[in-house]
Structure 1
Amino acid sequence: MNMQHSCVQLTDLPDELLIMIFKKLNNMQVLHSLMGANMRLNEIIRDQTFTDRLTFVKWSFNKFFYPLSDTTLDRFCQQILPQIHHHVKWLDVEPLSMKRILLAGEYPNLYGLSIYNIEEEIIQYFFNEADLSATHYIDHHHLSITSLAKEIIRHSENNTPTEHAILIHDYVRDSIPFGWSGRFWNETASDVIKTGRGFCNTKSSLFAALLRAVGIPCRLQFVDINTQILHGLVDPSITYELHTYTDFFNIEQQRWCHVDSYIVDTALVSAAKEKLVQENTIIGYGLHRDGQSEWNSIDNTFIQYVTNSEQNEKLERPLTIHKYGHFADIGAFYEAADQHGVQDRLSNRLFKWIFPLLIMPRNRAVENLRKR
């Protein structure tokens, strides 16, 4: 019996009886078979009875879950979901087809998402709200952050999280040039926009805030890095200082990516690398000679924290020593560090008073190099 003849028979039945029949069938099969058959059936099967929960997986006897066939997915993503996405409250998906399904509609009433065959690393992400939460320093709910984030991604061609992340990265890298403010690290992300310059700690706060403002999870990692990385810009009085980089979760690739390539602006990178080559130096002027400032949102990319370079063996001191792990923000890190004793807190306070006197020659050195 062909579909047209079946529909003619179905339309002879009253709506109440049709609904009773359809309820006894698999709702996915009902939607796949009857959506678009005629206006009356469309109206019936668009009801939340059949669209509340959609299951885009099938399972085998060994309890392994598979995606639906490509032809079935095509029909749902191209023809069905755009018509019913506003009714959907729960989706059952698996990683291979999840992206297509989620991009097929806006799902304003979605409150549940079951993901099958998901790796442990992905599970940790989905259940860690901190990677999307606002903090004192990562104040991504601030109007200046939300407005800026919208403006940056407005230029997105494909409107994907990956493309949004790259646009945000490039903005932070070049629109907030490398430099210091009198408040040193003690700036919120919205403060950094006002200051108009930043270094690893503050630019990382801004990068994280803009990512979270568009729904991209991320976290900040803290390590001690060799202060010779700033050779030629400052006269380091200590051997190591705190460095911040960002863990970015690429949901399309389903893995974490580590990046600090947004810290040094393109103009400074070009001039600094030229100086490093001239001096036959590995680190200095704010970067590592093997560092990269272009990022594809997939690969780990560093301009300072370049730990995989063979050149590091030639350094007098290791590039990095302590790796502290990730904290909610820079303030949370220093709160934890302050618990080591009063002397640490006193030193930190003294440095905050002294640092504003030091930034003018630092920024002047950066600007002179950038203009080369």
Structure 2
Amino acid sequence: MEAFLQATALVDYTHPSIRQLITEKGWNELTEYEKIRQIYDYVRNQIKFGYNRGDDIPASEVLADGYGQCNTKSILLMALLRGARIPCRIHGFYIDKKMQKGALTGIIYTFAPANIVHAWTEVWFEGKWVALEGVIIDDPYLKQVQDRLCSYNGGYIGYGIAIKDKAGINLCWRGESTYIQSFSITEDLGYFDHPDEFFAKYNNVKAPVKKWLLNLLRKRINRQTDAIRKGSMK
């Protein structure tokens, strides 16, 4: 399991801000179950759903930003888990961009690839790998968009969510896998020990033009997601 506990350039749990957070929260003093539950809850609700400058940024930068999407929240979640000695890995996919409509609008949605690179963290717990995809969406945001999801292909999508049953969404971690975007998966890209390996191969904003466009418009996108979260977005 040592490979799943290593620090990397992206999983930088030796960074002072990551170490300080783990110490302040006392996560290393908890049982394995409580470590996972509390770290998962922290990343899900204290790090708001939003868009960073790229997919492949260090966990310490995601923490400083205070927001993240599937890929960046997964990186931060991995860093905090590994920093608390919980083995974890990354599982990569392509997902249909339709599930992002509402969170992404206008030119950003237009230029987004039809299949978006997506990842979730899997944690080793009680002899099996458990998926923690539910970490992506915070409760205040979910509360505002749950009734706005569109019926699609036997499920519900929109606003960064893709779920089979919108009435049965439960993102609290109780020892089993949690999901919030998995209904839109179009291709399984496999398992990786570290996110560095995955994002070197798969990346939504590797092209310079796309990276420039995202950086130009992401503040506007995040203002929109904040407006949705506060209930002021019609």
Normalised to the residue count of structure 2, the TM-score between the two structures is: 0.85
Partner of 1:103: none
Equivalents in 1 of 2:116, 2:26: separation in Å?
A: 34
Any idea what SS the aligned residue of 2:222 has? helix
Partner of 2:209: 350
**How far has the Cα of 1:131 moved from its partner?**
0.4
Any idea what SS the aligned residue of 1:261 has? helix
Of 80, 99, 111, 1:210 maps to 80
Structure 2 unaligned segments of length 5 or more: list them.
none
Residues 1:293 and 2:171 are matched in the alignment: yes
Asked if structure 1 preserves the Cα contact closer than 8 Å seen for 2:91 and 2:189, the reply is yes
Task: Describe the shift of the 1:147–1:225 C-alpha distance in structure 2 as closer, same or farther (beyond 3 A).
Answer: same
Compare 183-192 and 207-216 and name the one that shifted more: 183-192
Asked if structure 2 preserves the Cα contact closer than 8 Å seen for 1:228 and 1:284, the reply is yes
Paired residue type of 2:18: I
Structure number with higher relative contact order (C-alpha < 8 Å, ≥ 6 residues apart): 2
Equivalents in 1 of 2:199, 2:84: separation in Å?
A: 27
Residues 1:322 and 2:187 are matched in the alignment: yes
Asked if structure 1 preserves the Cα contact closer than 8 Å seen for 2:151 and 2:157, the reply is no
Partner of 1:283: 157
Task: Describe the shift of the 1:171–1:321 C-alpha distance in structure 2 as closer, same or farther (beyond 3 A).
Answer: same
Partner of 1:74: none
Q: Name the Cα RMSD after superposition.
A: 2.2
Paired residue type of 1:142: H
Residues 1:305 and 2:182 are matched in the alignment: yes
**How far has the Cα of 1:354 moved from its partner?**
1.8
Any idea what SS the aligned residue of 2:99 has? helix
Residues 1:224 and 2:97 are matched in the alignment: no
Partner of 2:128: 255
Residues 1:138 and 2:11 are matched in the alignment: yes
Equivalents in 1 of 2:66, 2:103: separation in Å?
A: 19
Any idea what SS the aligned residue of 1:193 has? helix
Task: Describe the shift of the 1:146–1:355 C-alpha distance in structure 2 as closer, same or farther (beyond 3 A).
Answer: same
Equivalents in 1 of 2:180, 2:21: separation in Å?
A: 24
**How far has the Cα of 1:280 moved from its partner?**
4.5
**How far has the Cα of 1:335 moved from its partner?**
2.5
Any idea what SS the aligned residue of 1:187 has? coil
Equivalents in 2 of 1:349, 1:129: separation in Å?
A: 35
Partner of 1:192: 62
Report the count of equivalent residues. Answer: 219
Equivalents in 1 of 2:33, 2:69: separation in Å?
A: 24
Asked if structure 1 preserves the Cα contact closer than 8 Å seen for 2:13 and 2:59, the reply is yes
Partner of 2:47: 176
Equivalents in 1 of 2:128, 2:220: separation in Å?
A: 41
Q: Percent identity?
A: 32
Partner of 1:148: 21
